[in-house]
Amino acid sequence: MVRVPTCLYVLDFFIAYCTCIDAVHRRLDDKNESGSSEETPLFGTCTRKTVVNEAGIKKVYKEIKKEFHQIVQRSKELAQSDIFGAAIRLAFHDAGEIDITKSDSFGPDGCLSNTGPNSGLIQPETVVQSVFIPMWQKYCDRISRADFFVLLGKLAAERADLSRTINIPFQYGRKDNDFCDGGAGRLPAHQPGFSEFQRVFINQMGLTMNDAVALLGAHTVGHVHPQYSGFGNKDEANFFHVRYADNAWDETPEVFDNQYYKSLLMEVSQYYDVSTLSILTYFSSF
C-alpha cells in the first residue's frame, strides 16, 4: 500500500472540505442572509455579469493558474511564503464560518466576517486585498469569488509542495455572499485549547479531532503578523518579511511540509497529554 505524504493528506482534506461542504449545506435561496447594515461589500463586487459554465471555467482556470504562478515567480522566496500563507488561510477562513447546525448560507461563499479572527486578510494593504481581489476582478465574469478563493488555496498548496505530488481536483459552483458578519464568532480563537476545537471543528463543522489537527498543518506555510494578530516579533512587523523565518511557524515557511508538527513536538511537547502527542507524532512521522 502506498503511504500518503502528510502534506497531501492535509491539503487534500482541506480543499475537499472547502469544495464539498456546500453540497451538504446548500443555500435555501440566493438572497443575502447576513442582516448586515454595511453599504460596501468587504471584497467589492463584480461590475460585469457573472456567467459560470464548464467551458468558461476550463479556460479561466488555466488563465488564473498561469497568472498565479507568474506572481509567485516574480516574488522573492520570502514573499512567496506570505502569498502561499494568505491563499491557504483565505480558503479555510471562508469555509470555516460555516455552522452545519444552522440554516444560513455562510461557509465557502467568497465572503468573510469583518471581525478580529479575519484580521490580516481584510485590511487594504494585505495580500488578499492588494493582490488577490484585483486579480479576481479580471475574471469575475466567469468565476465566483468563492470558487476563486478555493482555487487559490489549491494552487498555493501545489506550488508550495516541493515533492510535486499534490494534485487536488477542483470543482466549481459555489455562490457568493457579499456580507457575512452573521458568521462572526465561528472561527476558532487564537489560543483555543480542546474545548474550542470541540466547539468549532467537531460541533460546528462536523469534523473529527484528527481532521482538526490535520487542518492545523496548513500553518506550515506563511507567517504571523504582530500588527494583526499580536503574535510574533513586533520589530519584524513588515507584511513582507526580510529574513527567512521571521515570525514563521517553522523554518521553511514557503514549503508545504510537516515541519509545523515537528516544531510543535520539539518545542512544546511537555505541555501535551498522551492522546495529543500521539496525533502530532503521527502527522510528523511521514
**How many helices (H) and strands (E) are present in the chain, helices listed first?**
11, 0
Quick: pLDDT tens for 157-202. Answer: 999 999 999 999 999 999 999 999 999 999 987 766 778 888 999 9
pTM: 0.80
Catalytic residue among 25, 69, 93, 225: 93
- Range 88-112 average pLDDT: 93
Can you say whether the dihedral through the CA atoms of 164, 166, 171, 172 is positive or negative? negative
Average pLDDT over the chain, rounded to an integer = 79
Digit-coded pLDDT (tens) for 212-264 = 888 888 989 988 777 666 666 655 445 444 455 667 778 888 999 988 888 87
| 3 state SS of 248 | strand
The residue type found at 213 is V
Residue pair 67/153 in contact (Cβ under 8 Å)? The answer is: no
**H helical segments located in the chain:** 6-24, 54-74, 77-96, 127, 133-139, 145-160, 193-197, 209-216, 226-229, 259-268, 274-284
| 93 is known as an active-site residue | yes
Say which residues have a Cβ less than 8 Å from residue 196's Cβ, sequence separation at least 6. Answer: 188, 189
